[in-house]
Amino acid sequence: MVSEYNNPGNSKYYFIIALIFSFVILIPFYVLVIIAFAVPSQTIAAYYPSIIPTKFTLTNLMHAFSGYSSVLEAAFIKSLITATIVGALAAFLGFHASYGLSKLPVRLSSLIISVLFFSTMIPSLTIAIPISVSFLKAGLYDTALGLALAQELVVLPMTIFMITGTLQTLPKQIELQARVDGAGFFQSLYSVIFPLALPGVLAAFLLSWMMSWDEFTFAIILSPVHPTLPILIYLDSTARGNILYASAFSLIVTVPVIIITMALSRFIKGNYMSSGLTG
C-alpha cells in the first residue's frame, strides 16, 4: 500500500489511481448539478433515472427561487449574517488568544490548549439544549446573534491552533527589533505582527465563515422558526418532501464553499484540522 521509494516509473500508475479517485469523488457533485438543471421527468420523477439526462432547463431553479423567494431570502440573509459574525469573532478572539499563548510559559499555555481541546469534545447537542433554554430567557433564541455565539464554539479552538501555527512561522527578530525601536506591546502587536499574520487570520476567518454557513446541529435547535439555509434544505427534503427545491438550495449553499475551499487549500492542513470538527 505504501511504497515510499519514489520510482519514477510508478508515477503513471499514481496518476491513474488519482484519476479514478477524482472521478468517484466528483460523482455526488454531478448528481447535484443534473438534478438542479435537468428536466424533473428525467431525474427525480423517473423511477430509474438515466445517468446522463438529455433535456436541460432553468425552470427548476427559477421555480425554487420565485415560488419561495421570501423564505429563501430570509434564510440566505440569516445564514450570511450568522456566518459573518462567527468569522469576525473567531478572527478577533483567535488572533489575540494565539498571540497571548505564544507569550506565556509553556506549562501554562499547554494547559490552556488542553482546556480548549477538551471543549471540542463536548457534543454540540449536549451544549445546544441547555443553551436553548437560557437563550429563550435572554431573548437570543431564534436570532442570528444567538446562533453565532453558539456556533463560535465549533470554530474557536481550531482558529486558535491555526493562527498559532501562522505566528510560529514569523521570525522572532522582527518583533524584538520593533520593541528595541521603541514600539510598545500593543503597537508592535497591531502594526508589526498583525500585518504579517494577516494571511493566517484571513484563512481562519474564511474557514470559520464556511463552517458556520454549513452548520446544522446548533442551527436546528437554536433557530428553528426562522431557519438558516441548511435547516431550510433539511425541512424541504424531509418534512415537505420537496427534493427539487432542496437540491436547488443545496446548489446555492455549495457554490460559495467550493470557492472558499479552493482558495484555502493551501491553509487547510492536517495539523490545523486536529481540533474543532465535532458535530
Partner 1 sequence: MKWEKDELTAFFMILPALLYVVILAFIPALESVYGSFTNIHSSFTLYNYSFVFDLYGYRPILNTFIVTASALGFQFLIGFVVASLLSKQFRGRTAFSAIFLLPFGVATIVTAVIFHDIFSSYGGYANTLVRALGGSALDWTGYFSTSLLVVVLADSWKNAPIVSLILLAGMTTIPPDLYSQAMVDGAGTFRRFFHITLPNLAPFIAIALMVRGISEFNIFAIAQAGLFPSPLLTTMTYSLFDIVNPHPSYAGATILLGFIMIFAFFIMLYRDRSARVA
Q: Could you say which residues in the range 205-244 bind partner 1, by CB under 8 A?
A: 210, 213-214, 216-217, 220-221, 230-231, 233-234, 237-238, 243
Min separation Cβ 273 and partner 1, Å? 5
Q: What amino acid occupies position 96?
A: H
Kindly state whether residue 29 participates in binding partner 1, applying the rule CB under 8 A: yes
- Distance in angstroms (rounded) separating the CA atoms of residues 251 and 233: 10
Cβ atoms of residues 95 and 197 within 8 Å: yes
Q: By CB under 8 A, which span of 6-14, 68-76, 168-176, 192-200 interacts with partner 1?
A: 6-14
- Distance in angstroms (rounded) separating the CA atoms of residues 264 and 207: 8
Helices (H), 104-123: 106-121
Beta bridge partner(s), residue 56: 38
Q: Which triple of cell numbers denotes residue 234?
A: 433539511
- Distance in angstroms (rounded) separating the CA atoms of residues 240 and 236: 5
Q: By CB under 8 A, which span of 26-34, 61-69, 80-88, 196-204 interacts with partner 1?
A: 26-34
**CB-based burial of residue 230 (10 Å sphere; 0-12 exposed, 13-18 middle, 19+ buried)?**
buried
Min separation Cβ 182 and partner 1, Å? 13
Kindly state whether residue 68 participates in binding partner 1, applying the rule CB under 8 A: no
Q: Which is nearer to partner 1, 126 or 191 (CB)?
A: 126
Question: Hey, is 56 helix, strand or coil?
Answer: strand
- Distance in angstroms (rounded) separating the CA atoms of residues 169 and 266: 15
Min separation Cβ 48 and partner 1, Å? 5
Q: What amino acid occupies position 3?
A: S
Min separation Cβ 139 and partner 1, Å? 14
Kindly state whether residue 71 participates in binding partner 1, applying the rule CB under 8 A: no
Touching partner 1, residues 144-203 (CB under 8 A): 149-150, 152-153, 156-157, 160, 185
Min separation Cβ 216 and partner 1, Å? 4
**Other beta carbons within 10 Å of 207:** 24
Q: Which of 5, 54, 107, 173 binds partner 1 (CB under 8 A)?
A: 5
Touching partner 1, residues 87-146 (CB under 8 A): 93-94, 96-97, 99-105, 108, 112, 115-116, 119-127, 129-134, 136
